[in-house]
Each structure stands twice: as C-alpha cells, then as structure tokens.
Structure 1
Amino acid sequence: MTIALERPTKKTRSAQIREQLGYPIIDTDVHTQEFEPAFLDYLEQVGGSKIVDSFREHLPGAGRFRWFQQSWEERHKYRTARPPFWGRPTKDTLDLATITLPKLLHERLQEAGTDFAVLYPNLATLAPQIKNDEMRRAVCRAANLYHADIFRPYSDRITPIATIPLNTPEEGIEELEYAIKELGLKTIQIPGYVTRVIPGFEKYPEEVQREATWIDTFALDSAYDYDPFWAKCVELKVVPTTHASGMGWTSRRSISNYQYNHIGHFASAGEAFCKALFFGGVTRRFPTLKFAFLEGGSAWGASLYTDIIWHWETRNPEILQNNNPANIDREGLAELFRVYGGAEFQGRAEQFGSGLGFHGQHLSPPNPGELDEFAAAGITKAEDVRDRFLNHFYFGTESDDTRAAYAFNQKANPFGDRVKAFLGSDSGHWDVPDITAVTSNAYSFVERGIFSEEDLRYFLSIHPLELYTSLNRDFFQGTAIEKEAEEYLNRA
C-alpha cells in the first residue's frame, strides 16, 4: 500500500477546529529542509564549482558539529558543547516528506488547521552564521534563489523567509534589496547577533580567537552603525524576524547532554537581541518598525517586559540619586561605626567606604551623561517602556507551549496588557511529532482554561496579521486569506 493511500479521508481535528473558529490561522514558523542536490545547483550558479566543493567539505554550521569528529578526550580538552542530533521526526514517512516537498506541504497545510504559513528552511536559518565571508554570502544568495523558485507556485498559502547575512550593514542591505526587489520575497530572517573576535585577542592563534569572542547584537555597543539597515527595512516595507540560537553560550556548554544545552537557548539569544534593540534606541528611532523572535516562546518576553519596567522604576535618573555616594554623611557614619563597631572596626575610618559605595573609584562621580541608561531608548516614564516594547516586539510560540499563559496574563502584566505572542509551531522539528495537531494543540489552551477565546484569536490570527501588515498593507494580497486580512485592516 502506498503512503498516499494511507492518508486519512476525514478531516483532522485541527481542520475541524479551524472551521469552528471561523477566522484565519497563521503559523509563523514552519521548518522545511532543502533538497541538497538541487540546492547545490543554485550554489554553483551563484559561486561556482569551487564554492560547492568547499561547501561539501565544510558544511555551514560545521563548528557546531565539531563534537561528532572529536574523541571524548578532545571534547573534554576543548569543552565542545554537544550539538543537536536526531532532529527530525522520522516515524511518520508522510510528515518527513512533507517538510522537503513544497507541493506536499501546500496540500497538507490545512490538515494542521493552518491557512497561511511563514517558512524557515533549515539551511537558511544557519547560513548567516557562516564565518567565511565569501561562503556566507554565496550560501545566503543561493538559498534565497532556491526557496523563491520552489515555493513560488504555492504562494497563496506559504511564503519562505529570505535569509539575510548581517556581519556588516552593507552586506545586509545588498542581500535585502536583492531578495525583496529581484526575487519578490516578502519576509526576512536576520541573525540575532554575530560573534566577533575580541580585538585584544586578534593576535593570537585561531584556536584562541574561536573562544575569545563577543556577541554583537547590532544595536548596542555594536562594531557598526546598523541604522541604515533598519531604515532600508522600513523603505522596503519588510519586518525583520530572527531565529537566533544560543547553543554553546556560557552555561549551555555541556559536552555530553544536548538537552542541557538546548533548554532556553532560543529565548536567551532572542532576549539579548531584544534588549539591545530597546536600550540601543532602535524602537525609538524607527517607530513603525516591528521585530519578531521565533522559537523561544513568549514567557521570556513577558518577563523581560516586566523586568525593564521594574528597572526603570528603581534605576531611573531621579530615583538613582538615592544611591549617589555624595549623599553620605561620612562624619555621622564614622560616629556610628565608633559607637556600634567592635575592635575590628576601630582605627579604620579611612576604609569605611569599602563595600558601602564610596571607596576608590566610587569617590569620583561618573560622567552625568552615563547615569541615564534609558536615554537612548527615550524613556521618561513607565508608559514609554510599554510603548517602545509592546508596540514593536512579537514572540513566536509553539502550539503546545503552555507558558504562553504569561504573555496573556493581563492581571499580572504591567498596564494590563497582552505581550504579543503568536503561533510559531516549529513544525518539521523533533518537538512536533504530528504536524497535523498544531491547531488542536493550541485550542487545548482554551479547553484547559489557560486562554480565553479572545486570547486564542490574538495568538492564532490578530497578532500575526498585525505584524506582517504593519509596514506592508498588501502582504496577504493574492493569498488564500486576502479577504480576511483586508477585513482585519479595515477594522483595525
């Protein structure tokens, strides 16, 4: 019996729920896998046979997979983090084929209850992190050509991201213009950061440089001014999204346990980028530009939003004066030490400031311009934090991630707001064993009292509609949900 004959003839529970809900469901994170022989044809077209040979020899992301070539002694010696393995659900052959065959994916999408999906192909998510400049740019260009071609016939229900390298703003702008203007792609993925060698270590061997790195998040303390890139996104009416990985960062460097390294790594990378955009003032300087962070869930977004407001309320320039060392009555402090201090305190008045905030470097006040760390973000009151954060940041969340409850807990969130979580199913990876269960998983949030029906609509429909039409009102024109998108825009 063939696989096709084994397919169910009745509607899945997800499809039935979609009919019941009566509004379009948008999945913002469906993973696909490139068919490598066909992709290499595109890579050769872009970079020639030498690039193809080098690609085969040094696969993108090879640094992440060094672990597999090392002995246990080498893993201990270099503390090489255990990378992902067995990342595809293989038990269902139909699901496995679906992630690499565009026609089959298009045909089956509604089995998951999904009307429209944004695709994050596997290689495309890795390509911007390739270290070699020539290889990185060639792979990104070839990936964009390949995906634009193979998914173009199915654009009524699916759209692939364009993968944009961003080691410099110039290379990002060049690929962005090509992908949008020449290929007609309409959504992009940028890396959430690039790793750069700390300048003081550039004179050391490559093995040292590989470890002596810093994380450049493009918006705070960056090596370059990325404002021209953000301006180009606004000009081309495209929303930057990121699917950044924090595997191998700091504590996520177990040499033996992938799960230890995996838990929380997308959220960690997303948070680093999100904080940089906020504190670096990008959301102030570009008031119409929104950003989306995929696969990290939304609990971290709710936590960060609350945390920034708490830090503003306890560390704003006015409140910070409560901590000014100039406030200290040193004579009064010395008298208290004399009266209440034991023998170990006597005769040490000149050292009283050690640990109390006015010893050594603390004796000199910092530059007044350095006191207000919220200045670049343009924050003068807590409501400004709300506007700079909630109006700009969206958080992709798997359909079975109950921690989305934090994002929709309006009683707990400052100002009674929802943090903008939306469906990013991660279909195609090991954590989605049944790609047809996406909508039924999400609807279980309502059945279990985690979401209200209204929350669910924001999660599945309103937030993604809001994001993708924020710069481009015609984003869904020509798609299966064009009418519903237009109705939403008219209401909004």
Structure 2
Amino acid sequence: MTRRFPDLRFAFLEGGVGWGCQLFCDLIEHWERRGAKGMANMDPTKLDRPLLHELVDKYGYADIAAELDKRDGWPLKEDFLTGGMPPDDYIRCNITQKQDWIDLYATPYYFGCEADDRMNAVAFGKAMPLGARINAIYSSDIGHFDVVDMRDPLPEAFELVEDGHITESDFHDFVFGNAVRLWGTQNPRFFEGTAVAKEAAALMKRGAPSLRDAAR
C-alpha cells in the first residue's frame, strides 16, 4: 500500500509507539536473515547429499536412507524450502535495499501516544535501525475520566526531556512537527486559518529530515 501510494500517511491512534518500534526492528532483522541475500546461505541446492546419506547410514534408519535413494539424496522434493518460489520471504514486498524500509515504513506511519508512556522515547532514540526516527505523535485523550486537569498531560509528556530521554527538538516533533507532517502531507492547506498556520507552513516548507545517508 505505501509503495503504491507513497504520499499517503497512516496514523495508528491510542496504541503507543513501542510496538511500532519493535515491529520496525523485527522486520529489518528478519529481512537481513530471510531476504534473498540471507536465504542464499540456506539454498537447498547447496546441500551435500553424499554427506547427508553417509550420516543417515551411520546414525539414522534404513527407511530414511531408502527414501533418500528414491530422491537422489534429496530429503524432500526439490522445492521443499520455498514451494517453488524464489528463496526470499520478502519477495512480495520487493525490498531491495535498506532505504526501502525508510520509505515504506518509517516515513508514512504515525503512532499516537499517551503523554505518560516512557516508550515514546524509543521512537527518537539511537536504538532504531538505519538511523530512523519513528513518527510518534502526542495524542493523549484529555477527556479521560482519570485526567483531573486538562492542562496536565502536556507537562507530563515534557518529563521525557527533563529526565534526559529525548531532546527539546524531539519533543517539538512529538507534540507538533510530526502531527503537521501527518496532516500537511495529505492536505497542504490543512492548517490554514488556525493559530499555528504560519509555523505549520514553515515546517512543511523545510520538509522532513532525510535519512538516506543513514540507510546506506
């Protein structure tokens, strides 16, 4: 979807960003091992069939050895690993380079977060692969019954800065910049007539920071 519509933005609200960071890391780590390059290390055509047969004869059972004989030493039919598809778990995604993960995941997805969630800091931290910053957006529901004063959530979110977990620049993106990019990319006139129209227009004019160098 994000490849077909590169300017489309998606926001996942009320789920936090922790899971989005974990998913981003998992996708890349699995791709490195189970993408075309990683799977080449497990190419079934590289199987040492004589050695396999020797080990089965020595340690296995006669019926297993007989089955190997039927298939010229192959443990299963030739396409047993991939079902006839090329050995690449990500072939449908057409992932060919690290930058694809930035373009298809880190750029278009946004994650709504509660103010008091410490996992918000992970989105801006150095733990993210490829130098990526996951788009966390401040979206506390100030109408919740447990919010005694509607003015409290924002200062509570700023505690991540006070405690040294994120920078003031990160906080700006969290409470303003990322939200502007989310809505402004879809509709450049979204903030016209609002109190932040000038600031939003200036931010959109600057554009999002490039992560291409980090992804190489």
Partner letter of residue 105 of structure 2?
F
1:388 — aligned with what? 104
Measure how far apart 1:338 and its partner are.
3.6
In structure 2, what is the equivalent of residue 240 of structure 1? Answer: none
Task: Tell me the residue number matched to 1:184.
Answer: none
Pick aligned residue for 2:85 from 368, 373, 377: 368
Counterpart residue number, 1:313 = 32
1:283 matches 2:2: yes
- In 1, Cα distance between the equivalents of 2:101 and 2:150? 37
Find the aligned partners of 2:38 and 2:113 in 1 and give their Cα distance. Answer: 36
Does residue 1:413 correspond to 2:128, yes or no? yes
Q: Secondary structure at the match of 2:111?
A: strand
Give the conservation status (yes or no) of the 8 Å contact 1:312–1:382.
no
What is the rounded CA distance, in whole Å, between the counterparts of 1:489 and 1:377 in structure 2?
A: 29
Distance of 2:11 and 2:81 partners within structure 1: 42
| Rounded Cα–Cα distance in structure 1 between residues aligned with 2:7 and 2:97 | 20
Equivalent-residue separation in structure 2 for 1:431 and 1:450 (angstroms): 25
1:279 matched to which residue of 2? none
Residue in 2 aligned with 1:223? none
1:294 matched residue in structure 2: 13
Whole-Å separation in 1 of the counterparts to 2:54 and 2:202: 73
Q: 1:330 aligns with which of 32, 46, 49?
A: 49
Residue pairs, 1:146-161, within 5 angstroms: none
Shift of residue 417, structure 1, vs aligned partner: 2.1
Letter in structure 2 aligned against 1:391: T
**Whole-Å Cα distance in 2 between the matches of residues 289 and 489 of structure 1?**
15
Map 1:227-306 to 2 at 5 A. Answer: 282-306=1-25
The residue type paired with residue 368 of structure 1 is M
1:121-179 Cα deviation digits (max 9, x unpaired) = xxxxxxxxxxxxxxxxxxxxxxxxxxxxxxxxxxxxxxxxxxxxxxxxxxxxxxxxxxx
Please tell me the residue identity of whatever aligns with 2:121.
A
Whole-Å Cα distance in 2 between the matches of residues 431 and 324 of structure 1? 56
| Identity within the alignment, % | 37
How far apart, CA to CA, are the structure 1 residues paired with 2:81 and 2:66?
16
**TM-superposed deviation, 1:469:** 0.4
Aligned to 2:193: 478
1:469–1:365 CA distance, 2 compared to 1 (3 A): closer
User: Which stretches in structure 2 are left out of the alignment for 5+ residues?
Assistant: 69-73, 208-216
Q: Which residues in structure 2 correspond to 1:7-26 (within 5 Å)? A: none
Partners in 2 of 1:386 and 1:364 — Cα distance?
A: 29
Partner amino acid, structure 1, of 2:17:
S
> Relative contact order: is structure 1 or structure 2 higher (C-alpha 8 Å, sep ≥ 6)?
2
User: What corresponds to 1:424 in structure 2?
Assistant: 139
In the alignment, what sits opposite 2:212? none
Contact 1:283–1:377 at 8 Å: present in 2 too?
Answer: no
Looking at structure 1, the residues matched to 75 and 147 of structure 2 have their Cα atoms a distance apart, in angstroms, of: 55
The answer to whether the 8 Å contact 1:420/1:463 transfers is yes
Which of 466, 473, 478 matches 2:181? 466
| Aligned counterparts of 1:400 and 1:429: Cα–Cα separation in 2 | 14
Contact 1:313 1:382 in 2 (8 A): no
Per the alignment, do residues 336 and 391 of structure 1 end up closer, same or farther by CA in structure 2, a change over 3 Å counting? same
TM-score, normalised to structure 1, is 0.38
Across the aligned residues of Structure 1 and Structure 2, the Cα RMSD in angstroms comes to 2.4
Superposed displacement of residue 373, structure 1: 4.1
Q: 1:179-229: per-residue Cα shift (whole Å, max 9, x none)?
A: xxxxxxxxxxxxxxxxxxxxxxxxxxxxxxxxxxxxxxxxxxxxxxxxxxx
Instruction: State the SS of the aligned residue for 1:292.
Output: strand
C-alpha displacement at 1:360, in angstroms? 6.5
Note the alpha carbon deviations across 1:61-109, whole angstroms, 9 max, x for none: xxxxxxxxxxxxxxxxxxxxxxxxxxxxxxxxxxxxxxxxxxxxxxxxx
TM-score (norm 2): 0.82
Deviation of 1:351 after TM superposition, in Å, equals: 6.0
1:342-357 alignment runs, 5 A limit: 345-347=60-62, 348-350=64-66
d(CA) in 2 for partners of 1:419, 1:360: 43
Contact 2:34 2:90 in 1 (8 A): no
CA contact (8 A) 1:297 1:401 kept: yes
Alpha-carbon distance, 1:430 to partner: 4.6
Q: Which amino acid is 1:473 matched to?
A: P
**For the structure 1 residues 377 and 431, does the alpha-carbon distance in structure 2 shift closer, same or farther, using more than 3 Å as the test?**
farther
Partners of 2:35 and 2:91 within 8 A in 1? no
Mapped to 2, the partners of 1:365 and 1:374 lie a distance apart of 12
Whichever residue aligns with residue 30 of structure 2, its letter is: H
Q: Secondary structure at the match of 2:186?
A: coil
Q: Is the 8 A contact 1:395 1:422 kept in 2?
A: yes
Distance apart, 1:439 and its partner CA? 0.9
